[in-house]
Amino acid sequence: MGLGQLASRALLRSSRLTTATRTSHFLRTIVSTPELHNSEVAAAQSQPEPDLPKRNPVGGARIHFPNPDDAIEVFVDGYPVKIPKGMTVLQACEIAGVDIPRFCYHSRLSIAGNCRMCLVEVEKSPKPVASCAMPALPGMKIKTDTPIAKKAREGVMEFLLMNHPLDCPICDQGGECDLQDQSMAFGSDRGRFTEMKRSVVDKNLGPLVKTVMTRCIQCTRCVRFATEVAGVQDLGILGRGSGEEIGTYVERLMASELSGNVIDICPVGALTSKPFAFKARNWELKGTESVDVTDAVGSNIRIDSRGPEVMRILPRLNEDINEEWISDKTRFFYDGLKRQRLNDPMIRGADGRFKTVSWRDALAVVAEVMHQAKPEEIVGVAGKLSDAESMMALKDFLNKMGSNNIWCEGNGPNPNADFRSGYIMNTTIGGLENADVFLLVGTQPRVEAAMVNARIKKTVRATNATVGYIGPAADFNYDHQHLGTGPQTLIELAEGRHPFWSALSNAKNPVIIVGAGIFERKDKDAIFSTVVAIAKNANAVRPGWNGLNVLLLNAAQAAALDLGLVPESNGSVESAKFLYLMGADDVNVEKVPDDAFVVYQGHHGDRSVYRANVILPSSAFTEKEGTFANTEGCAQTTVPAVPTVGDARDDWKIIRALSEVAGAQLPYDTLSAIRSRIRTVAPNLLHTDEREPATFSTSSLRPEIKEKMDMAPFETAVKNFYMTDSVTRASKIMAQCSALLLKK
Amino acid sequence: MASTLKYVRVPPNSANMEEARKRVFEFFKTACRSIPTIMDIYILDDVAKPSQLRSTVASEIRKNAHVTDPKVIDMLLIKATEELSNIVEHAKQRHHIIGQYVVGRQGLTQDLGIKDQGNSNFLNSFYSGNYF
């Protein structure tokens, strides 16, 4: 927040004033800094200020002028600043490089203006004004550093601290608390409060958010977040005056997939993380900037670790993907990284039990069995959490062994990887904000990609966009029309017979989102061609706007399709003699023949381990460097935050080592070498952190589909939001969430 | 045995290399004589033979073969005597002895031989750890 800087400036100023005038402390004054009392004198003293060094906007903020005529000029502490019309005084100050203290104001939420911490002095106004709620007017002279402003802040601080417990030593927010920081910077140096403090009963918000409601300062950020971003009306304010409380109106849990974000926005320790409670202090943690892999959004996260342990996961700002929020699954699944881990290579003995062996022996056994299988009986499956490097290595290795039966989980039996625009989100997540009509086909974004859903919710709230949904009955946290459950509705839309068609055809920027659950259907090509027809009729794909999207489910999917992990034949699992599962836990192991040899390479003992003959332990995404492409096709890399567990190795290294033991050595020894191999296949995976749009649009280039659509309704792709992959299934917190929060 | 070793005194400095050399041999003999006791108190019968331990002692001494200063040799002898008496007095535990003198410093991976000769550097470093 840059408050430290502000604090030091405030301290410097006050010490200078203290030496300048010295009045006696005879009376017990309202303000502890007595100089602030005779503000006129102090104001006169601090009036003639010479040219100060140039100030830069807070946090490198940049202003965008939608209309150059609307620029107005205001003066902040004497500096002229040009800002667009409609900005608030607080925003003007931020652009002028002055960070105004605040509690209730949050740039992504509506303005409440109830904490009064952001009071500044404006010339010709009789009282200090709340800068967060006051629009800046042309020629306004704003003073942020005057005795009046300081006195106002000090007074507000004193009132806030009146009922705030002094339990910083046992508070989890300690060290990253806005109230702590700002009371150091702007508060009084002594208290006059002798009465009893108010106490409030704690609320039960579920297994994720711990509440200590006595600490609450009623900034109402959480209430506004719940209604505006999360779209649940669970939180509210009850009572008035000193009886004011935040709470759920009736005894119920906060059932939102974004509820963890209230922990971040709470400026005090009233809402803290329940799993993280009393586990660590924020200054002992090492932050690693990484990427989430539990869904296909690729939310930017910071992994806070202490030693070999991941202590918590926090969001990282990325305006294009997750803004500053993350879903509860992303935030709280990390305890799964400590459970059910595979740490040694193991071979299943004759008695059906696993025996720990050395890497040498394990690789030798795998290589020998692999040579006994016929090339077409060798099958490889990449899991939901695989990184691009290891998928590239696995594909190259299997190809060298003569097999091309390799695919990635979730992409279905016959994925269409010909055109990149056919499987990514072409509109981009940020671009969804420009849409005015959404058509969701067989996708429930709330559980499939919570951050995409938050973006749709934001658009619906901001522009009243219409949302039409085709699929099984599902939970939405914004207004939507349930058009139908299956392909029949799609046909009606394509033929223009459906009532929703008028909304779709009249839309300026229509967006059609197809769920990746449809990949698993046999008639997916027919469905896609119908969707393409709808998009064509609605003019959704045109120069400057591409509204035809696929919403993927897993972190590995987009990269797998980019790398061409497409199986040669259908149903190859049934005929496999040698099955290589690289973290694939959702393969139907029932279908695998009994005499097949199954190698499981992964980090968690999950479903597939029960069938595996050999286990090769690999590292999880927090322990390795890997490239992941998200659903909009933006490649991002994870960064190792903690060391690997036991004798585990990175995924691509295991395949590289196995290839040498099997006598089909892969030509890369380093991560950079494997990336230059990727460059020849999918160069977009190397442009990390910037999205490479798809070159062609598929609509005109796809072959004609003759097969008929199956009229069976669409199915729910994600049954349990909290448990979708091996890590989240191993997590205790996620198990509690699915027990308590899922609607039965 | 233990009681005699307890009172072993290291006499004043050796005057020349000859004397130092003689003392080294005397120490080696003392060490060899205490090997049966050591085998006994640390139950080493199933992990090592007396001859193995003798050669370990010898190789430990040979490690300092390059030292030519009698004063330094005396110092090393004092340290060696101290170590020996610690061992004989059962001031150590079994795994100390096994780790230091039976398994040796190259660790438990002693089979690095013909098997790994044809391997690439990558595979050899893969077998030894994840970070390379």
What is the C-alpha separation between A130 and A540, in angstroms, rounded?
44
How far does B95 lie from chain A, in Å, by closest CA? Answer: 22
User: Which one of B115, B120, B126 has the shortest CB-CB distance to A649?
Assistant: B126
Instruction: Report the pLDDT value the prediction gives residue A68, as an integer from 0 to 100.
Output: 78
Which residue of chain B comes nearest to A345, CA vs CA?
Answer: B127
User: Which one of B115, B122, B130 has the shortest CB-CB distance to A656?
Assistant: B122
* A648–B119 CB contact, under 8 Å: no
Are the CB atoms for B2 and B89 separated by under 8 Å? yes
pLDDT bin (cut points 50, 70, 90) of residue A744 is low
Chain A positions in Cβ-Cβ contact with residue B123 (cut-off 8 Å): 657, 660-661
Comparing C-alpha atoms, which of A508, A479, A488 is closest to residue A442? Answer: A488
Are the CB atoms for A136 and A4 separated by under 8 Å? no
User: Which one of B115, B121, B130 has the shortest CB-CB distance to A649?
Assistant: B130
User: B7 in contact with A at a CB cutoff of 8 Å?
Assistant: no
What is the C-alpha separation between A601 and A609, in angstroms, rounded?
9
**Best mutation site among A358, A624, A654, A660 for testing chain B: the one with the most B CBs within 10 Å?**
A660
* A657–B123 CB contact, under 8 Å: yes
The shares of helix, strand and coil residues in chain A, as percent rounded to the nearest 5, are 35, 20, 50
What does residue A159 show for φ and ψ, rounded to 5 degrees?
-65, -40
* B115–A648 CB contact, under 8 Å: no
DSSP conformation letters of A548-606: EEEE--STTHHHHHHTT---SSTTTTTT-SEEEEES--SS-GGGS-TT-EEEEEESB--
Are the CB atoms for A299 and A692 separated by under 8 Å? no
Looking from the CA of A561 toward its CB, the CA atoms found within 13 Å total 32
Cα→Cα distances A600→A578, A580, A644, Å = 11, 6, 18
User: B125 in contact with A at a CB cutoff of 8 Å?
Assistant: no
Q: Which DSSP helix (H) or strand (E) runs through A531?
A: helix A524-537
Are the CB atoms for A552 and A518 separated by under 8 Å? no
- In the three-class reduction of DSSP (H, G, I as helix; E, B as strand; rest coil), residue A538 is classed as coil
DSSP state of A317: -
User: B115 in contact with A at a CB cutoff of 8 Å?
Assistant: yes
| Helical axes A651-661 vs B121-128, angle rounded to 10° | 130
* A648–B130 CB contact, under 8 Å: yes
Chain B positions in Cβ-Cβ contact with residue A656 (cut-off 8 Å): 122, 126
Instruction: Report the pLDDT value the prediction gives residue A643, as an integer from 0 to 100.
Output: 94
pLDDT bin (cut points 50, 70, 90) of residue A50 is very low
The pLDDT tens digits for A276-288 are 999 999 999 999 9
Interacting residues of B82 by C-beta distance below 8 A, sequence separation 6+ = none
CA pseudo-torsion sign A560, A565, A571, A574: negative
Cα→Cα distances A228→A221, A328, A461, Å = 10, 17, 8
Bridge partners, residue A84, by sequence: A71
Res A194 pLDDT > 90: no
Instruction: Report the pLDDT value the prediction gives residue A44, as an integer from 0 to 100.
Output: 44
Interacting residues of A515 by C-beta distance below 8 A, sequence separation 6+ = A440, A441, A442, A443, A444, A448, A471, A550, A551, A553, A714, A717
How far does A167 lie from chain B, in Å, by closest CA? Answer: 44
Q: Which two tokens stand for residue A36?
A: 């602030």
Which residue of chain A comes nearest to B125, CA vs CA?
Answer: A657
pLDDT bin (cut points 50, 70, 90) of residue A43 is very low
User: B122 in contact with A at a CB cutoff of 8 Å?
Assistant: yes
Are the CB atoms for A523 and A559 separated by under 8 Å? no
Q: CB pairs below 8 Å between A and B: how many?
A: 28
* A653–B126 CB contact, under 8 Å: yes
* Residue A301: burial class (beta carbons within 10 Å; 0-12, 13-18, 19+): buried
**Best mutation site among A344, A357, A360 for testing chain B: the one with the most B CBs within 10 Å?**
A360
Are the CB atoms for A363 and A657 separated by under 8 Å? yes
User: B109 in contact with A at a CB cutoff of 8 Å?
Assistant: no
Using alpha carbons only, give the angle A68, A74, A75 rounded to the nearest 5 degrees: 145
What is the C-alpha separation between B63 and A428, in angstroms, rounded?
68
Residue B44 Cα to chain centre, angstroms: 15
* B126–A657 CB contact, under 8 Å: yes
pLDDT bin (cut points 50, 70, 90) of residue A459 is very high
User: Which one of A650, A661, A669 has the shortest CB-CB distance to B130?
Assistant: A650
What is the C-alpha separation between A250 and B123, in angstroms, rounded?
62
Q: Which two tokens stand for residue B46?
A: 């199933």
* B123–A650 CB contact, under 8 Å: no
Instruction: Report the pLDDT value the prediction gives residue A699, as an integer from 0 to 100.
Output: 56
Chain A positions in Cβ-Cβ contact with residue B130 (cut-off 8 Å): 619, 644, 648-650, 653
User: Which one of B115, B123, B130 has the shortest CB-CB distance to A660?
Assistant: B123
Q: How does the average pLDDT of chain A come out, rounded?
A: 89
Comparing C-alpha atoms, which of A521, A474, A511, A468 is closest to residue A490? Answer: A468
Interacting residues of A67 by C-beta distance below 8 A, sequence separation 6+ = A84
User: Which one of B115, B119, B130 has the shortest CB-CB distance to A660?
Assistant: B119
Bridge partners, residue A341, by sequence: A604
**A149-158, A406-415, A513-522: lowest mean pLDDT where?**
A406-415
Helix intervals (H) in A255-327: 261-265
User: B120 in contact with A at a CB cutoff of 8 Å?
Assistant: yes
> What one-letter code names the amino acid at A535?
A
* B126–A359 CB contact, under 8 Å: yes
Domain boundaries, chain B: 15-106
* A656–B126 CB contact, under 8 Å: yes
Neighbours of A703 (CB within 10 A): 8
- In the three-class reduction of DSSP (H, G, I as helix; E, B as strand; rest coil), residue A362 is classed as helix
The shares of helix, strand and coil residues in chain B, as percent rounded to the nearest 5, are 60, 0, 40
What is the C-alpha separation between A172 and A271, in angstroms, rounded?
9
User: B3 in contact with A at a CB cutoff of 8 Å?
Assistant: no
pLDDT bin (cut points 50, 70, 90) of residue A230 is very high
What is the C-alpha separation between A393 and A657, in angstroms, rounded?
11
Are the CB atoms for A571 and A581 separated by under 8 Å? no
- In the three-class reduction of DSSP (H, G, I as helix; E, B as strand; rest coil), residue A72 is classed as strand
Q: Which two tokens stand for residue A520?
A: 């698993």
Neighbours of A495 (CB within 10 A): 13
Q: Which two tokens stand for residue A97?
A: 């490089």
Q: Are strands A71-76 and A79-84 parallel, antiparallel or unpaired?
A: antiparallel
Res A317 pLDDT > 90: yes
**A564-573, A642-651, B13-22: lowest mean pLDDT where?**
A564-573
DSSP conformation letters of A102-120: -SS--TTS-----S-TTEE
Chain B positions in Cβ-Cβ contact with residue A657 (cut-off 8 Å): 122-123, 126-127
What is the C-alpha separation between A376 and A569, in angstroms, rounded?
9
How far does A452 lie from chain B, in Å, by closest CA? Answer: 36
How far does A404 lie from chain B, in Å, by closest CA? Answer: 25
Residue A144 Cα to chain centre, angstroms: 35
What is the C-alpha separation between A698 and A691, in angstroms, rounded?
19
DSSP state of A357: -
Are the CB atoms for A714 and A442 separated by under 8 Å? yes
* B122–A360 CB contact, under 8 Å: no
Instruction: Report the pLDDT value the prediction gives residue B7, as an integer from 0 to 100.
Output: 60
Which residue of chain B comes nearest to A650, CA vs CA?
Answer: B130
pLDDT bin (cut points 50, 70, 90) of residue A697 is low
* B130–A660 CB contact, under 8 Å: no
The pLDDT tens digits for A382-435 are 999 999 999 999 999 999 999 999 999 988 888 888 889 889 999 999 999 999
Q: Which two tokens stand for residue A568?
A: 């040669």
Instruction: Report the pLDDT value the prediction gives residue A70, as an integer from 0 to 100.
Output: 83
Are the CB atoms for A579 and A592 separated by under 8 Å? yes
The pLDDT tens digits for A96-140 are 999 999 999 999 999 999 999 999 999 999 999 999 999 999 999
Neighbours of B7 (CB within 10 A): 7
What is the C-alpha separation between A595 and A223, in angstroms, rounded?
58
* B130–A657 CB contact, under 8 Å: no
> What one-letter code names the amino acid at A510?
P
Are the CB atoms for A367 and B123 separated by under 8 Å? no
What is the C-alpha separation between B84 and A545, in angstroms, rounded?
83
Instruction: Report the pLDDT value the prediction gives residue A10, as an integer from 0 to 100.
Output: 46
Instruction: Report the pLDDT value the prediction gives residue A229, as an integer from 0 to 100.
Output: 94
Are the CB atoms for A66 and A87 separated by under 8 Å? no
Res A18 pLDDT > 90: no
Interacting residues of A584 by C-beta distance below 8 A, sequence separation 6+ = A381, A382, A383, A384, A409, A602, A608
> What one-letter code names the amino acid at A718?
V
What is the C-alpha separation between A397 and A658, in angstroms, rounded?
9
How far does A433 lie from chain B, in Å, by closest CA? Answer: 44
Q: Are strands A545-546 and A548-551 parallel, antiparallel or unpaired?
A: unpaired
What is the C-alpha separation between B76 and B80, in angstroms, rounded?
6
**A400-414, A439-453, A656-670, A688-702: lowest mean pLDDT where?**
A688-702
In angstroms, the first-to-last Cα distance of chain B is 50
The pLDDT tens digits for A613-646 are 999 999 999 999 999 999 999 999 999 999 999 9
* A661–B126 CB contact, under 8 Å: no
For residues A687-709, give the mean pLDDT.
Answer: 76
Are the CB atoms for A622 and A385 separated by under 8 Å? no
How far does B119 lie from chain A, in Å, by closest CA? Answer: 8
For residues A692-703, give the mean pLDDT.
Answer: 70
**Best mutation site among B130, B131, B132 for testing chain A: the one with the most A CBs within 10 Å?**
B130
Chain A positions in Cβ-Cβ contact with residue B120 (cut-off 8 Å): 660, 665, 669
Chain B positions in Cβ-Cβ contact with residue A358 (cut-off 8 Å): 127
Q: What is the largest distance, in Å, between two alpha-carbon atoms of chain B? A: 55
The domains located in chain A, with CATH, are: 3-161 (3.10.20.740), 346-417+573-623+631-686 (3.40.50.740), 425-551 (3.40.228.10)
Are the CB atoms for A518 and A714 separated by under 8 Å? yes
* A669–B123 CB contact, under 8 Å: no
Which residue of chain B comes nearest to A669, CA vs CA?
Answer: B122
For residues A560-579, give the mean pLDDT.
Answer: 88
The pLDDT tens digits for A412-426 are 888 888 889 889 999
Cα→Cα distances A111→A122, A135, A179, Å = 19, 12, 19
